[in-house]
Structure 1
Amino acid sequence: MAARIMAALACILVMLRLSEAAVYKVGDSAGWTTIANVDYKLWASTKTFHIGDTVLFEYNPQFHNVMRVTHPMYRSCNTSKPISTFTTGNDSITLTNHGHHFFFCGVPGHCLAGQKLDLNVLLPASSTPLSDPPTSSSPPPPTTIPAAGVPGPSPSHAASPPSVMATRIIAVVALLVSLAFTNFAS
């Protein structure tokens, strides 16, 4: 009986840990663009990013790209030596450590027009990165990158939107607890 309860509790802890990761589409429905006049600074300030979260850059690759850059490059929109460049139009990047992550579009004029993003990943509750296993219908596995390791604006303390996964996990947890107590009472 005690073994069942311990197994149920272990499952609960694993599921809660997995539910912490979130996926954020940069720019929400507008995506990564200059046309919709998205304020990416405002967009990022409404999110709370954690290690294991994924940011998804969706854009037309004929007109845009995504460059990960250092803080000085970000400030000056310098495209000369990016840390990495993404060009698929559907780029998933998993955030693997805390600190600021700097991105912009490297197409001339786009960064200066505001197509730039500073994500601040909060200090982790634990040091283990999170990742969901890919499924056969999912896009290519996300790219993982470390933070730029430089100072930036203060972190956002806005709450992340609730996820469907979290709701499912809560339901499973309730079921497991109910089964544990039913078996315990028997």
Structure 2
Amino acid sequence: MEHAVGDDSGWVIPENPDFYADWAANKTFTVGDTLLFDFYTGLHDVTPVIKEDYDSCSVTVPGTTIKTGPATLNLYIPGDHYFICSVEGHCLFNQKLAIHVVDNDSSN
């Protein structure tokens, strides 16, 4: 299943600080799903980060920053996942997303 991050608002600096937490709260993310980050190239990016970097809005562990939008990320691993916009100041204004991915256990 594809999840359009932020639905119609896309991946932007949100007006409400809880916007992305609220968006994710009513969704189930499963291994095999994808996240669609809809943003304009040059204005935003999406960077997967560790929890500490998510909390501090920094990137201390080098990773892959996707600078071309829209961007699709595949969810392959169950557990907690964190994403920020690494453009200066954007994460501090709550352009960040934390999700929990559950295993795709088809035996249930």
**TM value normalised by structure 2:** 0.89
- Write the distance in 2 (CA, Å) between the matches of 1:44 and 1:24: 10
Q: Deviations 1:116-153 (Å, cap 9, x if unpaired)?
A: 00111013315xxxxxxxxxxxxxxxxxxxxxxxxxxx
Select the residue among 85, 92, 105 that pairs with 1:112: 92
Alignment coverage as a number of residue pairs: 105
Q: CA RMSD in A?
A: 1.6
1:110-149 correspondence runs (5 A): 110-126=90-106
1:22-171 correspondence runs (5 A): 22-34=1-13, 36-37=14-15, 39-126=19-106
Query: Does the 8 A contact of 2:78 with 2:100 survive in 1?
Result: yes
Higher helix share: 1
List runs of 5+ in structure 1 lacking aligned partners. Answer: 1-21, 127-186
List runs of 5+ in structure 2 lacking aligned partners. Answer: none
Name the % identity.
Answer: 39
Higher strand share: 2
Q: Deviations 1:18-48 (Å, cap 9, x if unpaired)?
A: xxxx1011000010001x5251011011110
Question: Displacement, 1:84?
Answer: 1.4
Query: Does the 8 A contact of 1:65 with 1:107 survive in 2?
Result: yes
